[in-house]
Structure formats: structure tokens, C-alpha cells
Amino acid sequence: MKNMIVIAALVALILTLTFCAPAPTPTTTPIPSTLTPRAPTAAPTINRTLTLALSQEPDTLNPYLAAQRSAGEVHVFVIEGLLSVNAHGEFFPALAKEIPTKANGGVSSDGKTITYHLKEHVSWADGAPFTCADVQFTWQAVTNPQSGAVATTGYTDIAAVACPDPLTAVITFKNFYAPYLVPFWTILPKHATGDPAAMTKWDYNRNPLGTGPFKIVEWVSGDHITLARNENYRDAQAGKPQLDSILIRFVPSRDVALQLLQTGEVDIVWDLTEANLPQVAKMSNVAISAAPGPRAERLVLNLGDPTLDAPDAAQHPHPILGDVRVRQALELAINKREIVDKLLNGQAQIGTNELHTGWWTCDTTPSVFDPARARQLLDDAGWQTGADTIRAQGATRLRLKLQGPTGDAVREQVEQLLIEDWKAVGVQAYIENAPTSVLLGTWNSNGVARHGKYDLLMYSTGPYIDPHDQVAGYFLSANIPQASNRGAGYNYSRWSNPAADAAIQAAATSADPVTRRDAYCQAMAQVNRDLPQIYLYSRLTIAAYRDRLQNFSLNVWKNLGWNAAEWTMK
């Protein structure tokens, strides 16, 4: 509790930081020649181009194929869904006219039929009308067994999507589905995609067409993506979006992004950590927004044999991590408090489970730092200490590969501490970081996680406003990526636990939030027992931006650009 109070105070302090030094003349980035210039006016014009630094280049912008968070940071400016979520964690209508409820007739008495009335006069960026046919097509594409879609939770629970007229979508679930407002968080354009069975080959994946305030006009691999105002945006007549263009620059690391922020060459930086706060606080004309968020830094442990392609962990267990005693020893050997205090300025919380914030919060006692117990477990598991202090079991050394995203100095420091902690109990680990497009890539691109070709992965993720997609995606045994489902799901650990499966399914079929929370927490208890993942720390959501950017609003549930139609530059 004391730690929570300290963090709350620190966050409050950060949120009140303003910098009053005289603002320099804004540095603008010329709009590329591929964009049509705005018509001249009598008054002097201002080129309102915002530059966003992104330290991870996405491998696809199709939201149903992408596993990288960076993909969402791009397509949020372009692609919309029926509903969205505001900074207060509340649903609000995006392409729908209203949120379906029983009171307005949008939810049937049994809760299985959801009716969306769509906004009128909404066009795709190419001018084609947005209709119910696009909603219906989205469901058909995502659930096509050959599509390769990875985000199928909720869609496979739908029995039918009907279109009684172009502006009405009637969604019927097979059974009551508690998070019924979550599916259709993004909509695919039927006329500008292709055969669902060939989704992984769509041109759309690199140049998505949307209904949002911006459209993509250029993607130069390894350098940048340029977005321009969508002249067909539904609020264009009201002067939205207020920016002319957005330049998304790919930079090699978070440190480079911060250097560019300080010099004014970029306006906003993505994915900052608690370790960056002191540096950013010293920058002139830079504002900071921070709040406790749902994401947690974790280790994903592979329970399957990494030498096989998409192994069945039950039939082909990992030669080291297949033993739960080894997994338990790895966690007991980690000094999580040292990581938080030494590398994150004491401003993160020690990780406990997937659901550490929100209405579904599961109270879990943090793991203890107990190297002696870790050594005993390894002894019991038959791993004997060798002359070089590294353990072995016959000819097999206790040696593991640790991988995280490249270009992340904080993660690299965490990795070094993990290696030291594990070495102290006789475990040898080595680092082999790679771009997220390699680690978390699609099935067709031979993504390391999807094909189970790893030992330990370290990265950050967390639940949406409703936790079901996250919990089911990562822990339901049906969501283990394999050839039969074309790599769908995020259960990279290849973990199967019948008790967890039953609890997760129960949570999806109850209308009572307390019952749902209890079921999710039962599943989390199984996760903490079997340890397919080890939670290191829960993170603040942090954004730093030049104070010439106006109307920015931090939203821990969405990407930075969730309200970009309101952004402007002074």
C-alpha cells in the first residue's frame, strides 16, 4: 500500500509538470510531394505536420494479423471500429450511432443478439460508402480458417451477422457472450481487401484503407510512414482532423527517439518507461502524461520443444522448461525488487499476474526472492552443479536463450540482471534480441513466438477494457498457434490447463461482473501455479511530447492517436 501511495504521488507530480521556457520557433517537416497541398487562403498558412517517433517498425498494419503493439500505433490514425474507448475507460460510439443496450433495443432479452445502427454518410477514405456489408465481411474474414487471422476471440462465438438494411448490423452469438461489445473493434473494407482465404497476401496489409481521420500515402521501409488528412472523413466539414499530416519516423531505439524529442525534431515519443522520466523532466517545452496502465513486463516461457516447428508441448516438452520445478526456480531466483528500484526509479509495481488493474483485479501476493529455495528445486529436478557452477542433467546443460525486442536499453539492463540472478543458482542464460517483427511476426513470416522456436521471451502486453480477449488469447489451450489454425492465438507458451480453460469459458458466459472476475482470478491462480509466464513488473503508461501539440489525451486503454482528430499544433 505504501508503494502504491508513493507511485500515485509521483504520477500526480508528473502529470502536473509544465515547462514555461519561451517556446522556440516550431520545427516543421515538409509534407511530401505525394500529398495534395491545401488550397491557399488570404492569411498565412501553417503546415501542421506532427512527427511521431516509433522504435519498432511493424511488419503488417492489418489489425487482425498484427501482433506488434507498434502496428496499432500506426493504424489507430486510419482504422476505426463500431465502438471505441475513451480515457475514462468508457465505450463510446465510433462508426455506430449508439452503444447497444437493452434499454434502446440494441441487446435482446437473452443477450445473444446485438443490433448496431450505423452512422449515416460515413465513407471509406476512397469515397466508397461504409455499410453493414463491411461489418459482415469483417466477421467472415476473421473466422475464415485459411485467413491466418490471429485475433479471433469473440468472432468465433458469433453464429451470424445479418444486414437487414445497409445501416443496420444484427450480430447473433451462439451463446451469451459477456464481452459482446468488444468484437468489431476494427472494421475491414469489403471492397478494398480481397479473398479472406488469402488475407496474408492482401495489399491492404501494407496500405490499409480506413474511415479514420488520416490515410496512408507512403511507407518507406526502415524509414517512415506518411499519413495525410482524410478528405472524406465524416467530420471533415467541421475542420477535423486539424493536422495536415503525420510523419511516423522509425528510429533504432527509445534513446534516439528521446534525443530527437529534445531537439524538437519529433513531437511525440512512444513507449517510454519509468527509467526515462528523470531525463524527460529536464527537457524544455516538453510535457509528460503518465498513469498506471494495464500492461505488464513479463517472461513468456516455452513449454514445448524449441527444436520442433509448433510443437505439442504435451507430446514434445521443452527439455528444460517442461519441468514446472525449473520454472518455479527461475522465478524464485529473480530479484524483482532490484529491477524496479535500480532500473525503474521505484515507480513500477512488482509483477503478480495478468490482471493487476481494472474491475477484474486479482489480488496476488508477489513472488518472493529466494535463491536457496530455487537451488533446492533444481536439485530435486535432477540438475546437478558442474565444475563451472552451471548445472547439467546428463549431457544437457541448464542453458537458456533469452530474447526481447532490439533497441530497448532498459530491457537490455533487465536482461543483464536476470542473467546474474540465474547464474547465482546455476542457470546459464544468454541474450539474443531481435526486432519485434521477428519475435512476434505472423505465422507466414515464421514468427519466433508463433512457431515455438524460443526458450524465453521478454516483452510487455496487457488487457483491453474488457480482459477476455487477453486472457483467452494468451491462456486458452485452443489459442495455441499451430498449423491447423494458421497460427491463431497468443498462447505462445503452448500451455494447456483444463481448469484454466473451464474458468476462462465460464467468465465469458456470465453477465455478472463479480462472477466473471472470480473466474478470471481462478485462471490466474492456475497461471501462477504452472508458470507459463513470469510477471516482472506492471508498468505506467507514459507519453512525452512537445508542448506545441495541443489536445493530446493519454488513454491507457488505447493507442497514442486514439483522439488524433482533435490534435492541433500551436
449-501 confidence digits (pLDDT tens) = 999 999 999 999 999 999 999 999 999 999 999 999 989 999 999 999 999 99
The backbone region for 130, taken as left when phi is positive above 0, alpha when psi lies in -120 to 50, beta otherwise, is: beta
When the pLDDT of each residue in the chain is averaged and rounded to a whole number, the result is 92
Compute CA distances 415 → 245, 265, 432, 433, whole Å: 38, 31, 10, 10
Residue 449's CB is within 10 A of a number of other CB atoms, namely: 24
* CA dist list (Å): 520 to 177, 352, 460, 496, 505: 15, 14, 20, 16, 9
Residue 316: exposure state from Cβ atoms within 10 A (0-12, 13-18, ≥19): middle
**pLDDT tens, 97-124?**
999 999 999 999 999 999 999 999 999 9
pLDDT the model gives residue 11: 38
CA–chain centroid gap for 153, Å, is: 15
Percent of the chain, pLDDT > 90?
90
Q: Give the residue among 82, 69, 183 at the shortest CA–CA distance from 472.
A: 183
Alpha helices in 117-252 (DSSP H): 132-143
Give residue 41's pLDDT. 35
Cβ atoms of residues 378 and 445 within 8 Å: no
Range with the poorest average pLDDT among 24-38, 41-55, 158-172, 425-439: 24-38
Q: Which has more pLDDT, 215 or 359?
A: 215
Q: Which three cell numbers stand for residue 34?
A: 505525394
pLDDT at site 321: 98
Q: Which amino acid is at 212?
A: G
Cβ-proximal residues to 25 (8 Å cutoff; 6+ apart), any chain: none
> Which amino acid is it at 231?
E
Q: In the predicted model, is pLDDT for residue 33 greater than 90?
A: no
Pairing relation of β-strands 399-403 and 384-385? unpaired
CA 154 remoteness from chain centre: 17
Average pLDDT, integer, range 549-563: 97
In 3D space, the residue among 290, 279, 256, 281 whose CA is nearest the CA of residue 552 turns out to be 290
Per-residue pLDDT reduced to its tens digit, 213-235: 999 999 999 999 999 999 999 99
- Predicted TM-score (pTM) of the model is 0.88
Is the predicted pLDDT of residue 28 greater than 80, yes or no?
no
Residue 415 or 32, more confident: 415
Looking only at the bridges linking them, the beta strands covering 399-403 and 428-431 are: parallel
The CA-atom distances, in angstroms, between 488 and each of 80, 441, 476 are 22, 12, 12
Cis? peptide before 481, omega within 30° of 0: no
Contact 479, 490 (CB under 8 A): yes
- Cα 340 from chain centroid? 22
- From its phi and psi, is residue 121 left (phi > 0), alpha (psi between -120 and 50) or beta? left
Q: What does the alpha-carbon distance between residue 138 and residue 169 come to, in Å, rounded to a whole number?
A: 12
In this prediction, residue 151 has a pLDDT band, given cuts at 50, 70 and 90, of confident
Q: Widest CA span of the chain, in angstroms? A: 82
pLDDT tens digit sequence for 491-505: 999 999 999 999 999
pLDDT at 46: 52
Q: Which of 354, 473, 359 is nearest to 89 (CA)?
A: 359
Region of poorest pLDDT, from 22-36, 364-378, 408-422, 528-542:
22-36
CB within 8 Å of 299: residues ≥ 6 apart: 330, 418, 456, 457, 458, 533, 534, 536
Burial of 297 (0-12, 13-18, 19+ CB in 10 A): buried
| Residues 278-318: tens digit of each pLDDT | 999 999 999 999 999 999 999 999 999 999 999 999 999 99
Are 173 and 114 within 8 A, CB to CB? Answer: yes
Say if residue 444's pLDDT is above 80: yes
Q: In this structure, how many other beta carbons lie within 10 angstroms of the beta carbon of residue 432?
A: 11
Other Cβ atoms closer than 10 A to 488: 26
pLDDT band at 3 (very low <50, low <70, confident <90, very high): very low
Local structure of 275: helix, strand or coil: helix
- Number of other CB atoms surrounding residue 381 within 10 Å: 18
> What is the predicted pLDDT for the residue at 47?
64
- DSSP annotation string for 414-442: HHHHHHHHHHTTT-EEEE--B-HHHHS--
> What dihedral angle (degrees, nearest 10) is formed by the CA atoms of 292, 295, 301, 306?
-150
Query: Quick one: what percent of the chain has pLDDT higher than 70?
Result: 92
**Residue 271 in this model has a pLDDT that exceeds 50:** yes
Euclidean distance between CA atoms 357 and 294, whole angstroms: 6
Decide: 162 and 218 in contact? Cβ < 8 Å. no
In this structure, what are the phi and psi dihedrals at residue 404, rounded to the nearest 5 degrees?
-145, 175
What's the whole-number mean pLDDT along residues 237-264?
96
* Spatial separation of the C-alpha atoms in residues 378 and 425, rounded to whole Å: 8
